[in-house]
Amino acid sequence: MRPSSPTASDSAFVTVMAKASIVVGAGATLYAALQLLAALVILRGEEVARFLDFVATQPVPASALWVLSHITALAVLLLLVSAAFLAVSVGLLRRHAWAWWGFVLFMVLGALANFAGIVVIDLVFSWLDRLPQVPDAAPLLAELASLRAMSLTMAWVTALAFGVLHALIVWQLCRPAVRAEFGWMQPPR
């Protein structure tokens, strides 16, 4: 049975990765808790209902309306995911096998989420392009086109960089010496 905390024979890679992830997870959990608190304080009352009723009459994509009407639930989801990442990071530091699986899952899903963000950015700009045009909007449209190109370029660069980083982390976690720290003598299947 594995010890509940890292020992001198454990790899520095896992220890440093786990500690850095604990800091990220704690920060994300705190941020998510503040988001939820803000949603609970600010997004209540008749004003929000009137705003959502008004937005529903506008040419807003159904997905944007859904996000606006479920913002508190999304804040709860962010808090739960952040807390789960924090728990997995602590488990990784303690070399629990379940945490290894959870951390790998977070790395893969995190990389995929960055690529999904590219689609969301493109959809938002596509929606902006379909808004009714106003007279003398040519400079604004040109600026919007350059903003779209810059946003998509940065999203691709970020998604590729984090995809490579996450793949390298998963690869390191799959090395036999690292797997052995989690009690596996054979590769996980």
For every residue of 49-94, which 3-state class applies, written as one string?
Answer: HHHHHHHHCCCCCHHHHHHHHCHHHHHHHHHHHHHHHHHHHHHHHC
- CA dist., res. 9 & res. 116, Å (int): 39
For residues 31-37, average pLDDT:
95
Structure tokens at 20: 């850095």
At 122, phi and psi to the nearest 5?
Answer: -65, -40
- CA dist., res. 122 & res. 163, Å (int): 19
Q: What is the pLDDT of residue 186?
A: 61
Report pLDDT digits (tens) over 75-122: 999 999 999 999 999 999 999 999 999 999 999 999 999 999 999 999
Which pairs count as long-range contacts for 177-180, CB under 8 Å and 24+ apart, including other chains? Answer: 177/11, 178/11, 178/13, 178/14, 179/100
**Contact at 8 Å (CB) between 111 and 163?**
yes
9 pLDDT higher than 90: no
**Contact at 8 Å (CB) between 87 and 41?**
no
